[in-house]
């Protein structure tokens, strides 16, 4: 009988037990009282069964299925692998007892407390096993002796190996990491006949947990306070130092649950949210329009070489006939660009959108991955035609800078405006080549992004920023602390980073790509620690058939707060569908509590477009899609 059934009908269970033991028991009160006293121990009978040997867990089974048996698999026994220590000057210790757990002064097993202790010349590591129903806690205490002369940075502990009946869902035979500086220390292994989560209840320290691949369908719960051995360079490498004369204690839990359920990890989620509280205040979740002014050159393997047209070097409108080298050609280009701004207004209003991100203000003179310049503070140097003075005497914007007029049309119509930023530095060489140069420290990246964002905001009133290529030189996602600093300094801005980790939801609206990956939106697990989390999902000109097939799922995500992004520089076939999604989700503009930040006033008001209708559906020459 399962634990669930025992709790469902305790009176029925008691009468069945009494009847089995003694048919006359109904007349014998003492036996009834005795059985009532025994009943709680029956009712809480656990599905998790653990036995211990002389070095930790000997066997472990759940719901009658054996998952660990050291007798059958001796190499699965408790062991400590990679360790790290530094001397007081910060140099990595080369002593074997500082780098490898199995090089030690001895170990001991205390059966009375279920504790395995390793002894070293610098201190000790004790791991205590405590079972509470279907939860097995492993409490680790790292003690650094006062006289060690070392700072102990952490140890990689493998307490046991679980042999699952099948590879857990979505593991695909790979080690799974949960790193507390980027997301909650919770990793769920769904093995078909049951589910087990490895959980770090206290998220306040830089720790690693997860599942270390240990053979076919076999994984060891990972528990370490230093970067695991062989950790990819693109993942965060952290230590949790223990100073001489101090100790550090942490707990890792294995929590088991029946199939098709999820073990409770609310303590870990609460701790993570308290350690990294959400700073998001963006209240408007209506659609955001996207506008692409150019298209990058194709087929070039050298991303540093320009690929512009002779008279249209930045490839605006992907049109070789554009000529910005003559006065007449420049005036025609300016009028065309201002018409795009007007279309942005009309189409965004038609979808009740909140604003427009212009992806490539500076054009796209270079191949991907250099193509998106994303440096608005360099527009005058990189794309001087966008800084040109409007020439047409019939234009209400004559005498203004073209880019000022472009954004002024949108902000003057009450829309928010956005641009693209990159954490890299766009650099033009004297020979016409260009590159996106990576910065190496958080402070440098923060200063670079804040410089660009502040320029765009102070000049054009930009408050929405798509942040492209949020990776470091190793391809790893940037430290979320970067965006924590950005949103702290600019709390009224919305940052949409291309790459992200779970902690990003505290500071940003992470980017999704429906168009390329059929992303639906914010993963349900994120709401466990950031209940108001949301992201921004790029739809653009995705296949209409695909879009229609995902309408219920996208509508549900929009109702939860996710933002969809669609083309507005022309009326695209998907735009009415996006508008219908928002209507079905019941999402409207939030109440205005503070005046929006807008660009400085221009000398002439833009023409009134409130009565305009969306232009006819057309496919322009520049069929724009950002990089996948």
Is 624's pLDDT higher than 90?
no
Mean pLDDT of 348-369: 93
Mean pLDDT of 405-412: 98
Average pLDDT over the chain reads: 88
Say which residues have a Cβ less than 8 Å from residue 137's Cβ, sequence separation at least 6.
Answer: 129, 130, 131, 251, 252, 253
pLDDT in tens, 112-152: 999 999 999 999 999 999 999 999 999 999 999 999 999 99
pLDDT in tens, 522-558: 999 999 999 999 999 999 999 999 999 999 999 999 9
Is 627's pLDDT higher than 70?
no
Residue 426 DSSP one-character state: E
pLDDT in tens, 223-268: 999 999 999 999 999 999 999 999 999 999 999 999 999 999 999 9
pLDDT band with cut points at 50, 70 and 90 for residue 277? very high
Mean pLDDT of 352-371: 91
pLDDT band with cut points at 50, 70 and 90 for residue 296? confident
For the ranges 38-52, 352-366, 431-445, the lowest mean pLDDT is seen at: 38-52
pLDDT at 590: 83
Between 166 and 9, name the one with better pLDDT: 166
pLDDT in tens, 466-494: 999 999 999 999 999 999 999 999 999 99
Helix (H, G, I), strand (E, B) or coil at 495: strand
For the ranges 294-308, 344-358, 374-388, 568-582, the lowest mean pLDDT is seen at: 294-308
pLDDT band with cut points at 50, 70 and 90 for residue 19? very low
pLDDT at 371: 77
pLDDT at 598: 34
For the ranges 3-17, 155-169, 218-232, 343-357, the lowest mean pLDDT is seen at: 3-17
pLDDT at 33: 34
pLDDT at 308: 82
Residue 349 DSSP one-character state: H
pLDDT band with cut points at 50, 70 and 90 for residue 39? very low
pLDDT at 183: 97
pLDDT at 589: 84
Is 102's pLDDT higher than 70?
yes
3-state helix, strand, coil in the chain (%, to 5): 25, 25, 45
Between 297 and 302, name the one with better pLDDT: 297
pLDDT in tens, 594-608: 433 333 333 333 333
pLDDT band with cut points at 50, 70 and 90 for residue 370? confident
In DSSP terms, 47 is beta-bridged to none
610, two tokens: 């409130």
State the CB neighbour count (10 A cutoff) for residue 172.
Answer: 9
Instruction: Kindly report the three-state secondary structure assignment for every residue of 160-211.
Output: CCEECCCCCCCCCCCCEEEECCCCCCEEEEECCCEEEEEECCCCCCCCEEEE
Helices (H), 479-525: 480-489, 514-517
Q: What percent of the chain has pLDDT over 70?
A: 86
pLDDT band with cut points at 50, 70 and 90 for residue 591? confident
């Amino acid at each position: 009988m399962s634990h669930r059934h025992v709790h469902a009908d305790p009176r029925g269970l008691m009468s069945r037990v009494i009847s089995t033991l003694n048919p006359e028991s109904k007349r014998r009160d003492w036996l009834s009282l005795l059985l009532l006293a025994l009943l709680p121990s029956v009712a809480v009978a656990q599905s998790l069964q653990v036995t211990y040997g002389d070095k930790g867990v000997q066997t472990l089974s759940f719901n009658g299925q054996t998952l660990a048996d050291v007798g059958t698999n001796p190499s699965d026994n408790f062991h400590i692998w990679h360790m790290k220590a530094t001397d007081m000057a910060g140099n990595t210790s080369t002593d074997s007892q500082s780098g490898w757990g199995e090089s030690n002064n001895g170990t001991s097993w205390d059966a009375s407390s279920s504790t395995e202790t390793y002894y070293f010349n610098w201190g000790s590591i004790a791991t205590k096993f405590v079972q509470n129903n279907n939860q097995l806690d492993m409490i680790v205490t790292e003690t650094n002796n006062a006289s060690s002369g070392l700072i102990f940075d952490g140890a990689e502990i493998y307490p046991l190996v679980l042999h699952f009946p099948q590879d857990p869902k979505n593991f695909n035979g790979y080690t799974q990491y949960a790193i507390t500086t980027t997301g909650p220390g919770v990793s769920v292994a769904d093995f078909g006949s049951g589910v087990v989560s490895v959980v770090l209840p206290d998220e306040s320290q830089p720790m690693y947990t997860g599942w270390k691949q240990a053979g076919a369908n076999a994984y060891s719960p990972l528990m370490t306070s230093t970067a695991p051995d062989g950790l990819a360079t693109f993942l965060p490498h952290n230590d949790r130092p223990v100073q001489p004369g101090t100790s550090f204690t942490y707990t890792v839990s294995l929590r088991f649950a029946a199939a098709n359920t999820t073990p409770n990890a609310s303590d870990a989620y609460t701790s993570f949210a308290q350690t990294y509280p959400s700073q998001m205040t963006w209240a408007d979740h209506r659609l955001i329009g996207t506008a692409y002014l150019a298209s990058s050159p194709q087929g070039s393997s050298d991303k540093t070489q320009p690929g512009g047209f002779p008279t249209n070097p930045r490839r605006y409108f992907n049109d070789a006939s554009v000529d910005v080298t003559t006065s007449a050609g420049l005036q025609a280009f300016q009028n065309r660009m201002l018409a795009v701004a007007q279309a942005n207004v009309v189409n965004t209003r038609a979808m009740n959108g909140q604003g427009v991100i212009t992806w490539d203000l500076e054009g796209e003179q270079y191949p991907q991955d250099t193509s998106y310049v994303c440096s608005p503070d360099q527009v005058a140097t990189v794309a001087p035609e966008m800084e040109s003075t409007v020439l047409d005497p019939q234009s209400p914007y004559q005498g203004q800078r073209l880019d000022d007029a472009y954004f002024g049309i949108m902000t003057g119509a009450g829309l928010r405006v956005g641009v693209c930023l990159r954490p890299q530095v766009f650099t033009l060489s004297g020979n016409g080549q260009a590159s996106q140069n990576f910065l190496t420290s958080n402070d440098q990246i923060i200063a670079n992004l804040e410089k660009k964002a502040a320029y765009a905001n102070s000049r054009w009133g930009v408050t929405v920023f798509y942040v492209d290529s949020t990776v470091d030189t190793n391809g790893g996602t940037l430290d979320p602390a970067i965006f924590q600093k950005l949103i702290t300094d600019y709390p009224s801005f919305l940052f949409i980073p291309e790459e992200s980790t779970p902690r990003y939801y505290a500071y940003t609206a992470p980017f999704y790509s429906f168009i390329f990956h059929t992303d639906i939106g914010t993963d349900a697990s994120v709401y466990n620690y950031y209940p108001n989390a949301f992201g921004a999902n790029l739809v653009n000109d995705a296949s209409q058939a695909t879009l229609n097939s995902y309408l219920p799922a996208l509508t549900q995500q929009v109702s939860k707060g996710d933002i969809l992004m669609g083309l507005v520089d022309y009326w695209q076939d998907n735009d009415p569908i996006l508008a219908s999604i928002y209507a079905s989700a019941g999402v409207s503009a939030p109440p205005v509590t503070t005046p929006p930040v807008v660009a400085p006033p221009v000398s002439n008001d833009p023409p009134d477009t409130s009565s305009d209708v969306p232009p006819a559906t057309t496919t322009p020459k520049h069929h724009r899609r950002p990089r996948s």
